Amino acid sequence: MDAVIFDVDGTLVDSERDGHRVAFNLAFEEHGLPYRWDVQPYGDLLAITGGQQRLHAFLEGQGMPAEERRDLVPRLHARKTELFRQLVAEGQVKARPGVHRLLVDLLEAGVRLAVATTGSRGWVEPLLERLFAGIPFDPVITGDEAPIRKPDPSAYRMALGGLGRPASEVLAVEDSANGLVAACAAGVACVVVVNDYTADDDLSGAALVATGFEELDVATLRRAHEAAQRG
- Can you say how many angstroms the Cα of residue 119 is from the centroid of all Cα atoms in its chain? 7
The secondary structure of residue 157, as a DSSP letter, is H
Confidence class of residue 14 from pLDDT cuts 50, 70 and 90? confident
Question: What separation in angstroms does the CA of 28 have from each of 55, 75, 89, 125, 184?
Answer: 11, 11, 21, 24, 36
105 catalytic residue (yes or no): no
Domain range for residue 84?
Answer: 16-89
53 with 74, same domain: the answer is yes
**Domain's final residue, options 89, 105, 132:** 89
Query: Do 42 and 154 share a domain, yes or no?
Result: no
Query: How far apart, in whole angstroms, are the C-alpha atoms of residue 44 and residue 112?
Result: 34
* 120 has pLDDT over 90: no
Q: Is 173 left (phi over 0), alpha (psi -120 to 50) or beta?
A: beta
Regarding whether 126 and 64 lie in a shared domain, the answer is no
Provide the phi-psi class of 194: left if phi over 0, else alpha when psi is between -120 and 50, else beta. Answer: beta
CB neighbours of 94 closer than 8 A, spacing ≥ 6? Answer: 13, 14, 131
pTM exceeding 0.75? yes
Question: Are both 57 and 78 inside the same structural domain?
Answer: yes
Choosing from 89, 116, 144, the residue where a domain stops is 89
For 40-53, the pLDDT digits (tens) are 999 999 888 888 99
Residues 174, 65, single domain; the answer is no
Between the alpha carbon of residue 228 and those of residues 1, 7, 76, the distances in Å are 11, 19, 42
Active site residue 175: no
Total domains in the chain come to 2
Q: Are residues 115 and 77 in the same domain?
A: no
Catalytic residue of the set 2, 9, 71, 175: 9
Choose the final residue of a domain: 61, 89, 117: 89
